[in-house]
Each structure stands twice: as structure tokens, then as C-alpha cells.
Chains A and B, each alone.
Chain A
Amino acid sequence: MIYYLGAFGLIFIGLYIVLVKHNLIKVIIGLSILNTGINLFLISIGFVKKGTAPIFSHPGLKAIRMVDPVPQALVLTAIVIGVAVLALALSLAIRLYQHYGTLNLRKIREQKW
């Protein structure tokens, strides 16, 4: 239960930062926190207290005590995707700073409806 609370706490903190902060770097940090929250949520779905790896390494192991491996595989993929987005976002932030001399998103508004 505590894991779910933590996960959704992180998700909402991340969303709050993205929505409220003006600095692009802070927004990117917010995205990263949001991602971490989701990963924690995915992991906690498959979590079993005092569980073991899903390998029949010695006799007498019960399948019921085994941790579900699928969420962990999902989280690995999600982390890799998150890193790619983060890297792209940071490199765009560098270019944005070169063009405008600021990272304040409220001041960068040449494109609008």
C-alpha cells in the first residue's frame, strides 16, 4: 500500500512541477520525477513481500511466493525510453538557450495560436 501512495505521490509531484514551473530545466526534472513515479507504480504491482526470483532454483519453492517478472521487464523498457526522452529534452534545452538566452518558458512565446 505504501508503495502505491509513494508512486502516486511522485506522479502528482511530477505533474505539478510540469504544470507550474516556468524554467525548462525544472519542467524536465518534473517529467523525470513523473516517470520515476510510474516506474515505481509498475514495480509495486508485481511486488510480493519476502518473495523470490521466479526461478525454481531449489526444490520446495512455491510459485505463489514468486515475484511477477513482467512488470520488471516493463520498467526496464520504460526506463530506457525515459532516458531517451530526457536526453532529447536536455539537448533541445541547450539549443533553446542558445537561441533565446533564457530558459523561462513564459518569455519564449513566438509561436502562438
Chain B
Amino acid sequence: MVNPVLLIVVPLGLAFAIPLFGFISKRIEKYIPLTAMLFNLIVSLLLIPKALQQPIVVSIGGFPPPFCINLVAGPVGILFSAIIALVGLLVSVYALDYIKQGATGEYHILYLLLLVGATGVVLTGDIFNLFVFFEILCISSYALVAHSGDKAGIESAVKYLIQGAIGSSLILIAIALLYGLFGTLNMADIARNIDSVSSISVFVPLVLFITGLGVEAAIFPLNAWLPDAHSSAPSSISAILSGIAIEVGIYAVARVIFTIFGAQSILLFLLLLGILTLLIGEMCAFSQRNIKRLLAYSSIGQIGLILFALGIATHSGVVGGLFQIISHALSKALLFLAVGYMIYRTGSLEISTLEGMGRKMPLTSLAFTIGAFSLVGLPPFVGFPSKFLIVRAALIAQEPLFVVLIALVLLGTIIEGAYFLRIVQVLYFKGEKSNSKIEDAPIVALIPIFILMLLILIIGIYPKLLTGVLNSAAGEFLNRVGYIKSVLG
């Protein structure tokens, strides 16, 4: 059996070996992230059947948990690490051609470190370890946002860094408080003992955790950094930040609330925050003229939807939320990748300059259209089953409040549809017929775009492919006792 620890160790080792490979030849450097992510994808896929039966618990150092740092590769962890590896692999193929100037070697190191951090966050079973991996993810994303080195990139990176640093400080205070209360850092051990102390003393760390992780997850009042950072980063990085980084933040919030604290009382608050995030994100996106900013705001809206689905906290609600995470990761990565070359060719971020792109860059425009339709939730794309599951979960929960809230969610979807269809209209039906042919994206960039399109279509037509994994993943989130038992025995 392959050990899940390889999912972290191999990419981490390769990341720091990139400068060494650079000594041999500068041209190998860019193939290293690709190799590492291919390895991660294969290992994750191999581990899925095993993890579905029983979470794989790896104790590092040979001590039994809770005395060691442990990795828990349950259905959730493996599902997330597979998505990270898949999107990471496709984006690194895209970056082979896209990242040409500037510090390319450093770009690849940081890119790989970002993905290692994300994989570590989803696999770890120790809260301090979670903090460390979170910091790896955050620090590399601060640096990557500033990669282009232009005015906008540096300014957004500074904003992101200040907000992110305060967020992670809050997480560290929460970890210190929990350690003071329980004398352990193991998630399962804390979860086992959480009921033995008064609820007011665990409330403070809970709030600090949600606030701190909420900065990275871009939950509403804490998301001021996101539109700047996602729109100023290189498009390949925007795809990763939007498709992976904020999802990992949401995962951490869900893990803390469901598994560690088992906090039922705060779910309603999260539900309302989710609705607020959704509506504000969609409304801001509606008024944007800058295409990447529009996509960034749409990410905020999607995060709100995911938070809403997780906040329902029934089995079908969590399944819907996880499905929405997958659908958002695929669709938003596709959108950013497609937009990346449109911007590269036209040299402008304004939506109006995309006029007539449907004729000039037909394949890229088709990819954008599919991604946009999938995000809006049109069948037969992957956004449809995920949104459908969320709506169904809210309706079968038999609470009048949920019916009102789901109406607001659908309102958000209508706004989303309005602005995405407007862009599709600009792509295909605006602008005079001119013969000024712009070259389509190069073949290296089209391969990942096509694979993403295919995945969106296949999962959209046949969502049963994922239901097995999603059901047991939702089970892991909701069944705290099972999680504690599988880790501590």
C-alpha cells in the first residue's frame, strides 16, 4: 500500500530540488511541478478505495496518536487531495507556455509549495500542523500574487499579506487557547474532550478559528483582499487561488466546526453569512467592467453558496456543498485559464475588448462559455447537479427558514446568470465582423482547457461517478464519533 505521507513529502522535496534541477538545465524546471502533481494524482486515486472503507491514519514518528503528529487520509482528505492534484496538474501544464518572463524558477517553486500546503491542510489530523501548512499555502500565495511585479500585483499582495497575517495570528491564538484547555493538539483528542469543559471557554477559540480561517476562505466581511489578489495575479495563479486556495479555507472551517467543535449552535450564523457572502459577491460581480475582477467576485459568491450548503448540515446538504466545491474548482479554473489567453492576446482586462472573441479565438471562447454555463448551473454541466443537490437539501430539511434562504440563493443564481450571459453575448454577438484574426491559444494551453471541459461535461451528465465518494465524505464530516474512533482506536 502507498503511504499518504508521500502526497506531502514528494512534492515538498521536489519543490526545493527545483533550483538543483535548474543547475542541470533551465528547461527541466517547469516540468517538475507537472511530475509532482501527476504523482499526487495517481497516489490519491490509488488510495481512494482504501480510504472509503476505513480512514488511513498515519502516525509520524511511530508514537500512537494523540502523542504524535498524525495524518488522517479519510474520504474527505483523499477527495480534496485528488482535486488539488488534478487542478494543480492541469494548471501546471498550462503554465508550461504561459509563464515565460520574470522569475520562472521561483514561480515553479512557490507554485508547488502552494499545492503542498493545500494538500497538507486537507490531510493533517493535528491543529498546529494545520496552521503550519496553512502558512505555507498563504506565504507562497502572497509571493505568487506579486509575481508579475507590477503596481497592481504588489499592492494587492501587500493587502493580502496584512490581512492574511492577522488571520493566521488569530488561528495561532485559538490553537494556544485550545492547548491551554486540553493539553493536546490532536484534532480527534480535542474533539473527544470538548464536551468536558464549559461551552463559553471553547466559544472564544471557535470564534477565533472561524475569523482566522475565514480570511483565507473569503467569507463576507473578511474578503476585501480577494478581488484585488485574484485579479492582479497571473491567470494561472488566479485559477489555483480561486479553484484550490479558498476551497481549502472552506474545508478548514468545516473541519473545525464539524469535527473539532461539533458546534451545532453556530451553524445558523454560518448559513446567514453564506447567504450574505453569496448575494454581495454576485452583486459586486454584476457591476464589474474588468473580466478578472468579475470572476474573482463570482468566486466570493460561490464560496457563499458552499458555506450555505455546509451550514444546512444535513447529509444531503454537506454532499451538495462538497459537490459544489468540486464543480467550482473545475469551472473557475477553466474560466481563468480561458480568460488568461484572451487577456494575453488583447492586452486588456476590460470586458468590452473581448467583443467578437467568439470568431477570433473560437476554442478559448467555447471553453469560457462552458465554464460560465457550468457556474450558473445549466444542465448538462457539472454546476447543475451540485446546485440541484443544494436546493433539494434545503427543501427536504423541512424548515421554513431554509425555504426563504434558498429563494435568496436562487436570486443570486439569477444575478450570476445575468452577468455571465452578458459576457457570452459580448464574446459571440458583439463587435463588427472583422478579418483581423487573432491566434488562438497555443496547443499546450488548450490541452488542460479541453480536459477540464471534458470533465465538466462527463461529471455533469453522469454525476453518479462521484456520489459514492461524496456520501462517505459527508459521512466523515457529520459522524464525529466515527472520526474520533478511527483515529484514536
Chain A positions within 8 Å of B40 at CB level: none
Contact of A38 among B155, B172, B227, B231 (CB under 8 A): B172
Chain B stretch 168-205: residues in CB contact (< 8 A) with chain A:
168-169, 172-173, 175-176, 179-180, 183, 185
Contact of A92 among B161, B169, B185, B232 (CB under 8 A): B161
* Cβ-defined contact, A34 with B158, below 8 A: no
Distance in Å from the Cβ of A64 to the closest Cβ of chain B?
Answer: 14
Per DSSP, chain B at the interface is helix
The answer for the CA separation of A14 and B169 in the assembled complex, in Å, is 11
* Cβ-defined contact, A41 with B176, below 8 A: yes
Distance in Å from the Cβ of B57 to the closest Cβ of chain A?
Answer: 20
Distance in Å from the Cβ of A52 to the closest Cβ of chain B?
Answer: 19
Per DSSP, chain A at the interface is helix
Contact of A88 among B142, B155, B231 (CB under 8 A): B142
* Cβ-defined contact, B165 with A89, below 8 A: yes
The answer for the CA separation of A78 and B157 in the assembled complex, in Å, is 21
B472 within 8 A of A: no
* Cβ-defined contact, A41 with B179, below 8 A: no
Contact of B156 among A31, A35, A99, A111 (CB under 8 A): A111
* Cβ-defined contact, A78 with B146, below 8 A: no
Q: How many residues of A contact B (CB 8 A)?
A: 34
Closest Cβ neighbor of B229 among chain A residues: A111
The answer for the CA separation of A45 and B156 in the assembled complex, in Å, is 36
- Contacts across chains A and B counted by CB atoms under 8 Å: 90
Contact of B227 among A14, A70, A85, A113 (CB under 8 A): A113
* Cβ-defined contact, A77 with B158, below 8 A: no
Chain A stretch 30-68: residues in CB contact (< 8 A) with chain B:
31, 34-35, 38, 41-42, 45, 68
Interface membership of chain B positions 121-158, coded 1 if the CB is closer than 8 angstroms to chain A and 0 otherwise: 00000001000100100010011001001111011111
Chain B positions within 8 Å of A45 at CB level: 176, 179-180
B480 within 8 A of A: no
Interface membership of chain A positions 72-113, coded 1 if the CB is closer than 8 angstroms to chain B and 0 otherwise: 001001100100110011001101100110000000101101
Closest Cβ neighbor of A111 among chain B residues: B228
* Cβ-defined contact, A81 with B135, below 8 A: yes
Chain B positions within 8 Å of A88 at CB level: 139, 142-143, 161
Give 6 nearest A-B pairs by CB, closest first.
Answer: A111-B228, A45-B180, A99-B151, A81-B135, A95-B154, A42-B176
- In the complex, besides A11-B169, A27-B162, A95-B146, 10 extra interface pairs with C-beta distance below 8 angstroms are A31-B166, A31-B169, A35-B169, A41-B176, A77-B128, A81-B139, A84-B135, A99-B150, A111-B152, A111-B231
Q: List 5 A-B residue pairs with CB atoms under 8 Å apart, sorted by A's residue number.
A: A18-B166, A77-B132, A78-B172, A85-B165, A88-B161
